[in-house]
Structure 1
Amino acid sequence: MVERVLNQTMTLSNGVEIPVLGLGVWKSSNTEASDAVQSAIRNGYRLIDTAKQYGNQPGVGVGIQKALKDNHLNRKDLFITTKVYNGDQGYESTLRAFEEQLKELRLTYLDLYLIHWPVDGKYIDTWRAMEKLYREGRVRAIGVSNFDISCLQDLLDHTDIMPQVNQMEFNPLVQEEELIGYMNAIGMSMEAWSPLGGGQALNNPTILEIAQKHDKTSAQVILRFNYQMGLITIPKSVHEERIIANTMLDDFELSESEMLAIQQLNQEKRSLWYEDFAWHTPHRQQAFADSVDSWDDRSEYLPK
């Protein structure tokens, strides 16, 4: 019997096993995130991905604790990821932020801690703090997010431990071919955020044609593509029926020609990049300033 994609894992460069399919919770309130986490774990998910910037760590934490109890699971059965917020970067500030994030998540350790973005002049010190947490066993794996080849090489040149993961925007329209080649060569794993690519990818005629052939949804075809590309994938949903549907990837396989057809959709146009941030282009009008998403229900989920 073929093992379900949902139950399969990938071995990171440090030997830690990470599920290849998980749940993302970006743009979800604390209530939505808590409910989605409980639904996902109830339906077999074990990888949950959040970030301080999302403003829903407290909701995720409550969802984890309820799901563990309701499903008779142990903490070690789950793989929990969060990220260093851009405004917390730096050595001492990262260490302080880590403790605060653990408290919000109601956890005693993390499975994966990522630098959310390579903030100019700070990400090296941030990484050194994360190396300390890793050596102390507070985190099972450490990695980065949104690091291009230049930033990765800079990190490798000035620190001791190679990131085990780089979480990047990846979907049929943004396939990061050069970066994946570089990462494969050094043994770093790619994790896909925005793996479904929004309406432009989901409604692409090529994707729709392949979906119809397999009697699958566009989302399922894209997630199967990501899986066959060898990526860790974290689709976001707050609807239980979609959370379940996103796991139904086992009864079909994309042919070589179908994989090639999807690969040819690549436009390499990232939806968000360094020049969009005030920390990289401080004089640009309408540059993104770093802020944590605010939800009216936050106080209801904070640990007492």
Structure 2
Amino acid sequence: MAAMLTRELTSGVQIPLVGFGTYLIPDDEAAAAVENALVTGYRHIDTAEFYNNERGVGEGLRRGLQQAGIERGDVFVTTKLWPQTHDRNKSTQETVRSLDESLNRLGVDQVDLYLIHATFGREQRLQQWQGLADAYNSGKARAIGVSNFNASHIDELIAAGLPLPHANQIELHPWSQKPGLVAYLNQKGITPIAYSSLAPLSTWRTAPGHASGKTRQMRAEGEQADSPFKRLAEKYGVSEAQFLLGWGLQNGYPVLPKSTKPERIRQNFDIDSFQIDSADMEYIRGLDRGAGLAWGEVDPVTHD
């Protein structure tokens, strides 16, 4: 079952490969979605301070634990630090306070993974990473990591004598495969976690504010009847979403599909029943378009 597939972080914590993402799920809808996900079998829930839905996620966690008959320790919970407050960067102490506030909203004593959500300035990154290290040492986070960091950002942490992240959550899908960054992360023992796994789909991020020129072009291509992912999904007898998530799974990336629709939640969880053959994996490698769609045009392999 998908729920049983895990990858071990260098902290020794097992992260389930199939997670439930909550970006763009409003706080008042998050509880029902998370509860449904846990009852379906998900054991990995991803949220963030920036998503403004931690209270709903926490309520869904409590309800889902009861409905699924499981314990808090059975569920891997991730949240993320937003690096700024009132247009200024958070200090080390403010970083620790932000985690305390997230824990309060979630209604838990610790999270399984705490991430710095984004990069702003070098000194801010170093101060905030020290705050995450303090949170890890105090037991408030079982593992710590970053998101949207490139190799040079992580090299800064190393040069400052700070511990390596356990994970880096980045945009990863067949159109943005980042082979250089993924190789760097694997060499350092940092687990790449994939977000925006479904970006090649024409329905990806249709919410207001996400219609860039690249996403409009992508949607037009995705709607074509002979699009490569439609053809490949048909070959393997799965939906396009299942195929794209399965590609991430086969690469060893934890994936974070998001939906509020019960049937889609179930379908996105059922992604370990097929194996993409080596010829098709090689074909997909040739579809890489470099920089991602969700987080600007910067290639995360390069320096800022």
Sort the TM-score into its range (normalised by shorter chain). Answer: 0.7 to 0.9
Q: Distance in 2 between matches of 1:70 and 1:212?
A: 35
Contact 1:49–1:80 (8 Å) recurs in 2:
yes
State the Cα distance separating 1:101 from its structure 2 match.
Answer: 0.7
Which residue of structure 2 lines up, in the alignment, with residue 79 of structure 1?
A: 76
The answer on 1:211 being equivalent to 2:208 is no
Contact 1:203–1:218 (8 Å) recurs in 2:
no
- TM (norm. structure 2) is 0.86
Which residue of structure 2 lines up, in the alignment, with residue 52 of structure 1?
A: 49
Listed as ranges, the matches of 1:182-261 within 5 Å are 182-197=184-199, 198-199=201-202, 200=218, 203=223, 205-261=227-283
Percent identity over paired residues:
33
Counterpart AA for 2:44: L
Q: Distance in 2 between matches of 1:137 and 1:77?
A: 17
Q: Distance in 1 between matches of 2:36 and 2:156?
A: 40
- Segments of 5+ residues of structure 2 without an aligned counterpart are 203-217, 299-303
Q: Distance in 1 between matches of 2:140 and 2:106?
A: 14
Which residue of structure 1 lines up, in the alignment, with residue 154 of structure 2?
A: 152
Q: Distance in 2 between matches of 1:251 and 1:11?
A: 22
Listed as ranges, the matches of 1:29-40 within 5 Å are 29-40=26-37
- Give the match's secondary structure for 1:144: strand
C-alpha change, 1:210 and 1:274, in structure 2 (3 Å) is closer
Listed as ranges, the matches of 1:1-304 within 5 Å are 4-88=1-85, 89-120=90-121, 121-197=123-199, 198-199=201-202, 200=218, 203=223, 205-271=227-293, 272-273=295-296
C-alpha change, 1:36 and 1:159, in structure 2 (3 Å) is farther
- Give the match's secondary structure for 1:122: helix
Counterpart AA for 2:262: E
Which residue of structure 1 lines up, in the alignment, with residue 213 of structure 2?
A: none
- Give the match's secondary structure for 1:233: coil
State the Cα distance separating 1:33 from its structure 2 match.
Answer: 1.4
C-alpha change, 1:152 and 1:274, in structure 2 (3 Å) is farther
Contact 2:291–2:297 (8 Å) recurs in 1:
no
Q: Distance in 1 between matches of 2:246 and 2:48?
A: 25
State the Cα distance separating 1:273 from its structure 2 match.
Answer: 3.4
- TM (norm. structure 1) is 0.86
State the Cα distance separating 1:62 from its structure 2 match.
Answer: 0.6
C-alpha change, 1:208 and 1:186, in structure 2 (3 Å) is same
How big is the alpha-carbon RMSD for the aligned residues of Structure 1 and Structure 2? Answer: 1.6
